[in-house]
A and B are shown apart, each in its own frame.
Chain A
Amino acid sequence: MPEPIIEIRGLSKSFGSVRALEDIGFSIGKGEVFTLLGPSGCGKSTTLRIIAGLEDAEAGEIRLAGNTIFSSERHINLPPEKRNMGMVFQSYAIWPHMTVAANVAYPLKLRGVSGADIRDRVARALKLVDLEAQADRDAPKLSGGQQQRVALARALVYEPEVLLLDEPLSNLDVKLREQMRFELKLLQERLGLTLIYVTHDQSEALSLSDRIALMNFGRIEQLGPPRDLYENPATEFVRDFLGKTITLAGRVAALENGGARVELARAPGSLACAAGARAFPAAGTDVMVAIRPEKVRIAVEGGNGGLPGRIETVLYQGERTECLVRVGEELLTIYGPPEAAGLRGRDVTLVLPAEAISLWPR
């Protein structure tokens, strides 16, 4: 990892009797996109707001570029205006009584930048987000997407050390959200920005981040690169929060060739499971077999060693289909190709690759 720009240790906070944050710690490298992901109420926004100085933690320490900006032990708590961070809010927080240019110029004025310099830098910031033409418009008259860009320009114009983004795309419609995702990524790569990004949207997190901290109930469940989290989830919560998972009840029949064979409990047949990141339980243990639905192949003929099943119904989705397949007593939702649309009522075989299967305690 490049030199850390933010180091956080032992952040804790409670609201009344509810533990909002419990011993949160991580560090973020320069130029990294770091995402705090989790369901609502998991503490991700609180963490971000503590980093910004908008809320206090009860315990812990935050260092920015080597300087302590918050420390409960040493009673250090820099106010937000002294932290030199940039922040984009979920509601954009565009000041309604100012023009676009005045919104962007505000942080520069506070820093005593000279008039000509301000004009220059505001123009550059607005060009960056493609809003030069709107500079003199009243901010509230802009569309949501444009306000979003103003917020971004306003947070970037003074070249803060870190840019904090609190659910920045969640108020945009789907099309615009996908477009802004690309623009944000391009901008980040071009300027080498360090981003701390808060979102509850897993696809946003997976597509934008260098690393993700997935939070739940005020704790970090798993921290790592997106692929790590998706392919080797450490906990059931991580597995189920990111993407879809099919689970089947079973029991470990034998350990063989570094892998395992699992007898299914509610369906005929058994499955081979290759060695992966997760350790195998002992033979005879009850387990849940888990696999991502896109890894399962539906075979109309052949499919040796697969599970026999019957397609109960099919939902056509355009680029793919979702097939509801009955295997023994289990009902599984499998992603199939568009051609599977005509397979309703057919007997098929499900092929579950051994290396895509993971075992979980039942």
Chain B
Amino acid sequence: MAEIALPPLGGRVRRMFEFRTVLFAVVLLVTLFLVLYPVLLIVFYSFSVAETGADFVFGLDAWKRALSEPAMFGTIVNTIKLLVAINVISFPVAVIVSWVLARTDIPWRNGLEFMFWISFFLPSLSVTLGWIMCLDPEYGLLNKLVMLLPFVEEAPFNIYSFWGIVWAHIGANSIAVKVMLLTPTFRNIDSSLEEASRVAGAGRLGTLARIVVPAMMPALIAILLMAMIRAMQSFEIEMVLGPPFQFYVYSTKVYALIAQEPPEFGPASALATLGLAAILPLIFAQRWLAMRRQYTTLTGKLQTQPVRLGPWRTPVFLGVLTVVLVLTILPLVFVGLASTMNLFGFFNIPDPYTLDHWVALLNDETFLQAVGNTLAMAGGAGIFSVVLFSLVAYFTVRTTFRARALLDFVSWLPFAVPGILFGVGLLFVFLESPLFRPLYGTMWLLILATVISSMTLGTQIIKSNMMQLGHELEEASRVTGATWWRTFTRVVLPILMPVLLLVGVMNFISAARDIASVALVATAETKTLALLQLDYMVEGRYETAAVTSFIVIILSTGIALLARALGLRVGIRN
């Protein structure tokens, strides 16, 4: 009788110490530390009544204040009011624009789509600056223009108002984000659904209203929820436009509580926790909808016959063109104008135009330091994020470790948690513990903050590409004798190189223009350009802010354009 081979002794033990297992543990711990730990600390410190820096003392004072003071709880109501107002306007516009771009024979479609893409990459603070130039009650150009009319006595527009903030959001990227998400969704719909309705006797608009929109409702709602989650995280527009009329949303309130002297960490954490609680239902609803199969999109052969607009072709084209010009060119022109004027809006002084602001800023120590900081932070974030995200993606997609579900969950968390809250959490991590305190005040902290904020999108992109990669490519490498690490670095990563490059570039861009995640962790020495621009705007130095803004636009939109020209598909969807 043949000998029966026994399973090798200690097979399980050996696996425990395999390099891959050790690496998985390290990646999991790093991610938990970066993402989960700060959030838990926020919740933890909301129950402390101790002075800053002192030991934890349990108490509910912070919560009592957060729930009773109108100045606190009201900020969450403000956030929700803004959210609703912004999306009630921008969502229908985005739905119509995306449908037109995806499903009709509108002329110059690629050009229009490209301009929405530009709008998506324009930093919201720069767009807001453009609109301040236009709608400021004192010297906004549009106000001045309207006041030339004989019967207009007062400035009709005021950007420092609730509707001013709403408008700034719409003008920044509230529409562009949705157009970028919706257009591919509309493009994937089986055109025979529309054609069947036409043949059955419905016109173009009837078909849009009765078939296309209702059939896509689940997908539309999922995208709307995603947009609302994003909007909950907005910070810089409210930070510039809100305080002049005593208007705070919860992110600016949290920031104010911490930035003041002395900082009030307790109420800030309680408010932050409340905000998180308000986002959670949105997250669950969004995940639930996204998980469900979208039945409107069929796999396999799709016919995509564009709908003929007929006589509506030109009017519709002009309409969409107007929208996209208002979103892109208009604010840029005003920012450009502002950067070259002695005093913005004053055309009738002897010497209205000057390059002084450019010259002064380019010789300013603070500014030059900020340029260096921004490049170091964005570059560091770009590199570090690719390393971390590709490992996270690999472990969640390609391995069977039981804890990979936890890793997956943690990689989703930054999508839900506003950047300003991560800032609070990171402050707790790095200020309260003697081990990490030396890192406070260095660029490392900013790099970590921006890596966290781009984690969800970056990991998702790498994951979806890894899933398309057949197992055989890896298995072939292992069978020929390569170790796991060699296979990962010599086969998996090189194949995914274009994707990794894309993620790196996108994280560079989002770090370069990021404000919410770094506002609280930056110090005077580690200020970035975007933060400097925010300071200038809050101080009312709009001309200097405009110059700074240009550099930020080059580092974000400019890099995106360059990457696109080099063939990278920079965007929010693959």
* A, B co-complexed: yes
- Where the two chains meet, the residues of A that have a C-beta atom closer than 8 Å to any C-beta of B are 49, 52-56, 79-81, 83-87, 89-91, 93, 95-98, 106-107, 110-111, 140, 151, 154-155, 158, 164
Q: Check B305–A55 contact: CB distance below 8 A.
A: yes
Q: Check A93–B190 contact: CB distance below 8 A.
A: yes
Q: How far is the CA of A111 from the CA of B206 in the complex (A)?
A: 13
Query: Using Cβ atoms and an 8 Å threshold, which residues of chain A touch B214?
Result: 95, 97-98
Instruction: Name the one of A93, A97, A110, A164 contacting B217, with C-beta atoms under 8 angstroms.
Output: A97
Does B2 belong to the interface (CB within 8 Å)?
Answer: no
Q: Check B199–A111 contact: CB distance below 8 A.
A: no
28 contacts between A and B (CB under 8 A): A52-B199, A53-B198, A54-B195, A54-B199, A55-B305, A80-B195, A80-B199, A85-B199, A87-B195, A87-B196, A87-B199, A89-B195, A91-B298, A93-B192, A93-B193, A95-B193, A95-B196, A95-B211, A96-B193, A96-B296, A97-B217, A106-B210, A107-B201, A110-B200, A110-B201, A110-B202, A154-B200, A164-B199
Does B215 belong to the interface (CB within 8 Å)?
Answer: yes
Min CB–CB distance B34 → chain A (angstroms) = 41
Does B295 belong to the interface (CB within 8 Å)?
Answer: yes
Q: Check A89–B198 contact: CB distance below 8 A.
A: no
Q: Known: A91-B190, A91-B192, A93-B192. Is A106-B197 also a contact (CB below 8 A)?
A: yes
Query: Using Cβ atoms and an 8 Å threshold, which residues of chain A touch B217?
Result: 97
Min CB–CB distance B260 → chain A (angstroms) = 51
Query: Using Cβ atoms and an 8 Å threshold, which residues of chain B touch A98?
Result: 214
Min CB–CB distance B450 → chain A (angstroms) = 41
Query: Using Cβ atoms and an 8 Å threshold, which residues of chain B touch A87?
Result: 195-196, 199
Min CB–CB distance B241 → chain A (angstroms) = 40
Query: Using Cβ atoms and an 8 Å threshold, which residues of chain B touch A95?
Result: 193, 196-197, 211, 214-215
Q: Check B192–A89 contact: CB distance below 8 A.
A: yes
Q: Known: A96-B215, A97-B214, A97-B215. Is A81-B192 also a contact (CB below 8 A)?
A: no
Q: Check B201–A89 contact: CB distance below 8 A.
A: no
Query: Using Cβ atoms and an 8 Å threshold, which residues of chain A touch B197?
Result: 95, 106
Q: How far is the CA of A345 from the CA of B295 in the complex (A)?
A: 57
Q: Known: A81-B203, A97-B214, A97-B215. Is A89-B196 also a contact (CB below 8 A)?
A: yes
Query: Using Cβ atoms and an 8 Å threshold, which residues of chain B touch A155?
Result: 199-200
Q: How far is the CA of A185 from the CA of B308 in the complex (A)?
A: 35
Instruction: Name the one of B198, B201, B202, B298 contacting A84, with C-beta atoms under 8 angstroms.
Output: B201
Majority secondary structure of chain B interface residues (helix, strand, loop or mixed): helix
Q: CB within 8 Å of A: which of B196-252?
A: 196-203, 206, 210-211, 214-215, 217
Beyond contacts A107-B200, A155-B199: 4 other A-B pairs, Cβ-Cβ < 8 A, are: A96-B295, A97-B215, A106-B202, A110-B206
Q: Check B196–A93 contact: CB distance below 8 A.
A: yes
Min CB–CB distance A153 → chain B (angstroms) = 12
> Nearest chain-B residue to A80 (Cβ)?
B198
Instruction: Name the one of A81, A111, A140 contacting B198, with C-beta atoms under 8 angstroms.
Output: A81
Q: Check B199–A86 contact: CB distance below 8 A.
A: yes
Query: Using Cβ atoms and an 8 Å threshold, which residues of chain B touch A91?
Result: 190, 192, 298
Query: Using Cβ atoms and an 8 Å threshold, which residues of chain A touch B196?
Result: 87, 89, 93, 95, 151, 154
Q: How far is the CA of A80 from the CA of B197 in the complex (A)?
A: 9
Q: How far is the CA of A338 from the CA of B126 in the complex (A)?
A: 82
Q: How far is the CA of A154 from the CA of B296 in the complex (A)?
A: 19
Q: How far is the CA of A81 from the CA of B207 in the complex (A)?
A: 10
Q: Check B295–A140 contact: CB distance below 8 A.
A: yes
What string of 1s and 0s marks CB contacts (under 8 Å) between B356-392 and chain A? 0000000000000000000000000000000000000
Q: Check A111–B190 contact: CB distance below 8 A.
A: no
Min CB–CB distance A160 → chain B (angstroms) = 9
